[in-house]
Amino acid sequence: MDKKRILVVDDEEAFTRVVRINLEESYQVRVENTGRNIVDVVRSFCPDLIMMDVMMPDIDGCEVVRKLKEEKLLNDIPVVFITALVGKSKSENTKTSVNDYPCLAKPVSLEDLIQCIQKHLKKTR
């Protein structure tokens, strides 16, 4: 059986490296540390889920998602934001979202990350 594909976009290389190492046994993981070319990356990689940082130096994660949603073939890919903008206690106690997309607060535990991935992969095409 083919592994589900997860695209992790975050400007913190150490974070994306740790995520990849922890997920690659169960998923096919691609990491990107800039948001500039994500539309092209999504077209070529065809992820089942995108984990996106909100604040990146080159382009805002919300802007990247807006560009993806403009593309007919890409607009149904689930997106989860990973951000330090929302405190962990707030995200645990409420249904937190960024622009109506679910989000995880940094720092995120491996357990929370895996639970989130499993939950949102059920919604994939």
Residue with tokens 């995520």: 19
What angle do the packed helices 61-69 and 38-45 form, to 10 degrees? 50
**Separation CA 32–CA 57 (nearest Å):** 13
Query: Which pLDDT tens digits describe the chain residue by residue (125 residues)?
Result: 689 999 999 999 999 999 999 999 999 999 999 988 899 999 999 999 999 998 888 888 888 888 888 888 888 899 999 988 765 444 443 444 555 788 898 889 999 999 999 999 976 54
Listed in sequence order, the residues at least 6 apart from 90 whose beta carbon sits closer than 8 Å to its beta carbon are 96, 105
Tell me the C-alpha distance between 39 and 61, whole Å: 12
96 contacts: CB under 8 Å, gap ≥ 6: 86, 90, 102, 103, 105
pLDDT at 23: 96
- Distance CA(99)–CA(64), nearest Å, equals 12
How far is 71 from 12, CA to CA, in rounded Å? 27
Largest Cα–Cα distance of the chain, in whole Å? Answer: 37
Number of domain units in the chain: 1
pLDDT of amino acid 93: 38
Give the domain extent around 80.
5-121
- Helix (H) or strand (E) segment spanning residue 3: none
Q: What's the rounded Cα separation, in Å, for the pair 19 and 14? A: 9
In terms of pTM, does the model score above 0.75?
A: yes
CATH of the domain at 58: 3.40.50.2300
Q: What is the pLDDT of residue 91?
A: 42
The residue to which tokens 């077209």 are assigned: 43
